[in-house]
Amino acid sequence: MRKIIPLIILSIVGCGGCEDEKPLQKVEIAPKAKKLEVRIDRLDNDLFAADFSNPKTACQQLYQKYGGFFCQFVESDLMLAPCQSDSLPALLVPFVTNADIKESHNAVIKLFTDEKISAFDNQLTESFRRWNHFFPDSLVPRIVYYQSAWNSNISVSDSTLGISLDCYLGKDHPITSKLPNEMFPAYKRAKMDEKFLVSDALKGWVAFKSRLYYKQKDLLSELVFYGKLMYIAEALAPDISDADMLNWSDAQLQWAQKSEWNLWKTVANEKVIYQSKPFEVNKWFIDGPFTGATGVPQESPPQLGVWLGWNMVRQYMTANPNITLQDLLKEGDNLKIMQAYRPKK
């Protein structure tokens, strides 16, 4: 995912991370929001269907339809040239005609059938209807499926949410297996599963829209901030399991739930929770095969700080049901949010 903010990108009181009850599933969406339509396009199909016998015309047509997102694609993902430059058309031709890229496009078409894409469309539309309900004054993005050549799985701008389908072929797909291990180790390949597509997209959007509220101070501020992001993402798709929302396996989630009390004892130490050295704080949030913070065993899942922060915010919101998601984002008293947290023993 393109780094919008550092590190990512991106419970009931006394019950830690359990999923027996999710109050957000019971939210009644406003009638106006229920009628919202979301524009969804396929840059990947349009790109490979374009007539590149006249590269300049092909680029112009793609730019006319996709605007700034096309620029972001060729400039940031492919790193070819400015999208309005005279050199771009000739530089884009080798990408479109590259045998490996064409093979990956064929794999995308085969895996992501019209029926499957329609199901994702419906999920994303419902999620952004919920976004419109919770944030009625905020823009609802256009959604664009595309292929980034594995440079970013989610790409976000003010008005567009891009989802790179080649990044979700699955860890065991022959195309994925060809990717270099030094860039795509096993823990990254495990996340290249279509079951994470919607949750990744929503987390990317929420992180981008919340970026101005990010103020790195200490571990507590990071826990609360990422907990807020996860809670808002959950509000958009409350039926997604906790494991899928975290890009974890069920076994990894179970490990975290069983270890919650011990994890919190490690975090709650004053020298830890108010730690402000980025190198130490980041250990709780950066991706990897496990969480590399001091005192956390290597059989742990990665980014445990995100999960702990999510539990913290969940319990705070359960204790304060009248607080809106907009109020939650604006709340600057991290200690108040932490004090609502009761980790499961």
Give the pLDDT score at 21.
63
C-alpha to C-alpha distance for 262 and 260, rounded to whole angstroms = 6
Cβ contact 283:292 at 8 Å? yes
Give the pLDDT score at 20.
56
Residues 6 or more apart in contact with residue 158 via CB below 8 angstroms: 139
Give the pLDDT score at 23.
81
Q: What is the DSSP letter of 76?
A: I
Q: What is the pLDDT along the chain (345 residues), one digit of tens a residue?
A: 333 333 333 332 334 444 556 789 889 999 999 999 999 999 999 999 999 999 999 999 999 999 999 999 999 999 999 999 999 999 999 999 999 999 999 999 999 999 999 999 999 999 999 999 999 999 999 999 999 999 999 999 999 999 999 999 999 999 999 999 999 999 999 999 999 999 999 999 999 999 999 988 899 999 999 999 999 999 999 999 999 999 999 999 999 999 999 999 999 998 999 999 999 999 999 999 999 999 999 999 999 999 999 999 999 999 999 999 999 999 999 999 999 999 998
C-alpha to C-alpha distance for 324 and 327, rounded to whole angstroms = 5
Give the pLDDT score at 345.
85
Helix spans in the chain (H): 31-34, 43-49, 55-66, 68-72, 88-97, 99-111, 114-134, 174-177, 186-189, 197-209, 219-236, 242-246, 250-267, 270-273, 278-282, 304-319, 325-330, 334-338
Give the bridge partners for 146, in sequence order.
164
- Encoded amino acid at 266, one letter: T
Residue 101 CA to chain centroid, in angstroms? 24
Using the CB atoms, write b or e for 300-316: b if 16+ within 10 Å: bbbbbbbbbbbbbbbbb
Cβ contact 313:224 at 8 Å? yes
